[in-house]
Structure 1
Amino acid sequence: MHSRDGRVGSGPRSRRRVLAATGGLAAGLVGVAGCLGSTDGVRVLAAGSLAAAFENGVGPAFESASGLRYEGEYYGTNAVMRLVEDGTKYPDVVIGADAELLRERLYPDHADWDAEFAANEVVIAYAPETGLGSRLAAGEPWYEVFAAAAEDAIAISDPDLDPLGYRALLLFELAEREHGLAGFRDAMAGKVARVADEPQLLAGLENGDRACAVAYSNMAAERDVAVRRLDDAYNFGDAAFADRYARASYTTDGGHTVEGTPVVYNATVRSDADAPAAGREFVSFLLENGALLAEHGLRVDDSLPRFHGDPPEAIEP
């Protein structure tokens, strides 16, 4: 399959202002003001790449359908798991962008089941008016374009907070192996700009600070930026290439080693949630509304949903 360029659609403006979080885990993580602070609705702690989809679409639709208030907060998936593990956050629902990471970090103390409900793929977003962007638009091999990039011209999210960040590094490693590019991963790791706020990853393209960013397809769709699609062998979007993705690995600053996996989102209701019934209702809503997720750039095919562990009867659609 050949890479191709194109434009993708934009989503509506968010109804809530997304703020930078302070303290604890830190600068760069993002959340929604007032979230996770009350119990008369459902409280969701989710992967940052879902922020726009959930704030602009899923959350309001769930409120309309259920009569419950939706409260969402969004961080890199590594950070999401850490916030739950150390007791900093007490959500009803936890959602990650790396299915195995949620199981490794939350089972058995905080969860014993999860539901995979949507998929995604890694793309290269770019500003067409830049030198790098024009080369990508012209169809030049993306890895040759990246190799010629100046320091900080390309943005990735923080690999120690977020699977999108380490998938960018794994992408570089897979390209190095496939094309005999000695030292390509290390060279790229040394010159990319690392953005701690995943939902803000593409802001640099819009304000002229960056030429390219390694992003998820839905994020590019929400921001209406130009994209260069990657071959399925690189984009972490095709389960048929799972063995190939797994050839690359990354060890976080915390010493946790992850292998490349397809981008699959999974959700669970925390074992000691304050509002478990509301949590189950929200997860069921996700499973029953694949078309809504697809409207916001996520992929929901016939293989989804998939379950791990023993979900409550109320969860199964």
Structure 2
Amino acid sequence: MSTRLLLVFVPDEDIQIARDLAHRHASRIWIRPAEGRMESLACVVQARYVERLVKDLEQALGQHPGFCTIVLPTEAIIPPLYETAANARPLSGNRRPPNRLEVFFSRDRLSTEEMYDDIEETVRLRFSFLFTVLISALIAGLGMRSGQTAIVIGAMVIAPFLGPSIGMAMAATVGDANLGRRATLALLFGAVACVAFMALVGRFISIDPTVPELLARTRVSPADVVLALASGGAGVIAFSRGSAASLIGVMIAVALVPPLAAAGLLFGSGHGHLAIGALILFATNLICINVAGILTFLFQGLVPRNWRVTGGTLLVWTALLVALLALILPHVLP
């Protein structure tokens, strides 16, 4: 069973509060003196109770001087800690008990704080982000130009848009405007840089727009919509469970990097109408990823700060998807 080790540091006079809160959510607890007039409390917590315990600790002790909570992953516990009805932790306050579906989806999910920590560095605009965007676009573009699928897959593994894509969906789910702005800015900046760079490349190399790998990125089909929806959902599931970033990157980049690289090459080589088709594919895929990402986060028990904001954002993304499909599908269906 997935568990975390929480280390809590509090002043001597607050240790009883921390102990009472830990007993509500943790299965094994140890207390020992720390440096100065501080106490340290260590506890093993089932993964789906981490967020509850962290929030309770922050609410009760967050303003107290010296308070600190550290969440660490656990590789193994001996003797093992199994999830049973006997060690299920009761809810505190007026919280609604989770239904079976919520328990199933959130069983091994990282806490919101852990996900924030994982995504924080990936939505910052910095040289390393721009460099990976340009390198990924160059590899994808040259791979599509020569019709070599393996090279295109290599670009997907770099996954420069992993953080911004997941960040946009997570920000919309929890209603975090600051994270949403940063993720959107990073994605837009990276997309513009990608298209501009590949347009420059396209002016100096010959491009055959009939190459299947390239032509496939200039049209939107129902299969592309399904692929993007699946990518968004699978990417969020992997991310929220702490899976290897490269695996998530393949799921996300498969729907974002190649269309942008194709659009740049086609703009640079004078095939503007095909380039616009590639940009429409990119927009459709981005919308699908966000719709699937928000729904998957909600299914996993990520609690919105404001349901009206989350529902409104999801409605806007869905409306954009419906509008694009209404515009595109009549041209691709027989």
Q: TM-score, length-normalised on structure 1?
A: 0.23
Q: Which has the higher strand share?
A: 1
Query: Of the two, which has the highest radius of gyration?
Result: 2
Higher RCO by CA contacts (8 Å cutoff, separation 6 or greater): 1
